[in-house]
Amino acid sequence: MTYPDPHRASSARSVGDRERRVTLLVIVGSSVAAGVTAAAGVLTALGLL
């Protein structure tokens, strides 16, 4: 007796979680980078003014 379905479901779930984590990390990283660049732009603008 073999039960491949639960193993496949668990592996699919793990892969989905990994993909979700990666996408979340990419989104957070991009947003942080955008915020840093925006802050730098504001600081430089204030410095020039």
pLDDT digits (tens, 9 = 90+) for 9-49: 566 667 788 899 999 999 999 999 999 999 999 999 999 86
- Give the pLDDT score at 23: 95
d(CA 26, CA 29): 5
CA angle in degrees (0–180, nearest 5) for 30-31-34? 85
- Give the pLDDT score at 3: 58
Instruction: Give the three-class secondary structure for 40.
Output: helix
- Give the pLDDT score at 16: 84
- Give the pLDDT score at 15: 75
User: Does residue 1 have a pLDDT over 60?
Assistant: no
